[in-house]
Amino acid sequence: MAEVISSHRPLLMGLLASQPTLVADLRWLDQVDSTNALLVSDLSQQAAGAWSIRIATNQTAGRGRQGRSWESPIGSVPISVAVPLSHFESTPSWLSMLTAIALKNSLQKYVSEPIQIKWPNDCLFSSGKFAGILIERTTDHAVIGIGINFFAAPRIASATHLGVTDYLPALADFLLKLADLIELASGLTDEQVRDLVTAELSTIGQQVEVQLTSSEQLVGVATGITDQGALVIDTNLGLVEIVAGDVVHLRPANAS
């Protein structure tokens, strides 16, 4: 079957003209199974490289964290970006957090309510999640998969959308911010990246509940993150580092 290219592609490339690396290999397809799977396949066949981008108008088999499916209705745009793995090989979790920061800082001007980041990379707007992030590793690259709910959201109770219908400028701003942030972080130590990320997380200082397994929860105050990106929680049993888990913000730690 012939590949169908979306008419959005030349418009987006024009908006990204200030960053040539982002337009060197940018493909926007009308429909794919998964933009991440497509980009991983292209990388394995040496048909893609650093800063190759795959976008789809309609994605039929998207994937989320922990093997969950990610639905992409029209208006929820799936994007996959390949970045060099070298600097983040030992701490790939930084990439998902930096991606969340890029989403927050680039898209805030398009909406009236504040965008917040919940550890590790949940992007929240109006009490709902408007974006999903999934990192997949290849030999030399990390593929960052992002689903942004611009004006439609999956049929999930926790999902919402930004209400941005003319979204190409917002998408371009996000990609430019992502490239800038990753370039900046590539020259920083893990401690410096930790400080950069900590300043953007709304989780820090919150009373939280972490769902570790289907039957195990942990409650405490989120006090910070480690140099490897783990969440540090002050509990009745002392400080605990959380590498993975679903976090619920209960209230600020100083709330009565």
Q: Binning pLDDT at 50, 70 and 90, where does residue 75 land?
A: very high
| Candidate from 1-10, 99-108, 186-195, 236-245 with smallest mean pLDDT | 1-10
pLDDT tens-digit profile of 17-54? 999 999 999 999 999 999 999 999 999 999 999 999 99
Please tell me the predicted confidence (pLDDT) of residue 108: 98
Contacts of 115 (CB under 8 A, 6+ apart): 103, 104, 107, 108, 123, 124, 125, 130
Residue type, position 58, single letter: N
CB atoms within 10 A of CB 24: 12
Q: Binning pLDDT at 50, 70 and 90, where does residue 256 land?
A: very low
Average pLDDT in the chain: 90
Q: Which domains does the chain have, with CATH numbers?
A: 8-198 (3.30.930.10), 206-252 (2.30.30.100)
pLDDT tens-digit profile of 133-159? 999 999 899 999 999 999 999 888 889
Contacts within 8 Å (CB) and 24+ apart, 226-230 = 226/194, 227/91, 227/190, 227/191, 227/194, 228/91, 228/93, 228/190, 229/91, 229/93, 229/94, 229/97, 229/120, 229/194, 229/197
Would you say residue 70 has pLDDT above 70?
Answer: no
pLDDT tens-digit profile of 160-174? 999 999 999 999 999
Please tell me the predicted confidence (pLDDT) of residue 67: 52
Q: What is the three-class DSSP state of 43?
A: helix
Would you say residue 63 has pLDDT above 80?
Answer: no
Would you say residue 214 has pLDDT above 50?
Answer: yes
CB 202 within 8 A of CB 119: no
The residues pairing with 247 across neighbouring beta strands, listed in sequence order, are 210
Residue type, position 44, single letter: S
Would you say residue 64 has pLDDT above 60?
Answer: no
Q: What is the three-class DSSP state of 111?
A: coil
Q: Binning pLDDT at 50, 70 and 90, where does residue 254 land?
A: low
d(CA 207, CA 157): 22
Q: Decide which of 185 and 86 is more confident.
A: 185
- Of 83, 202, 79, the C-alpha closest to 150 is 79
d(CA 58, CA 77): 8
d(CA 6, CA 29): 5
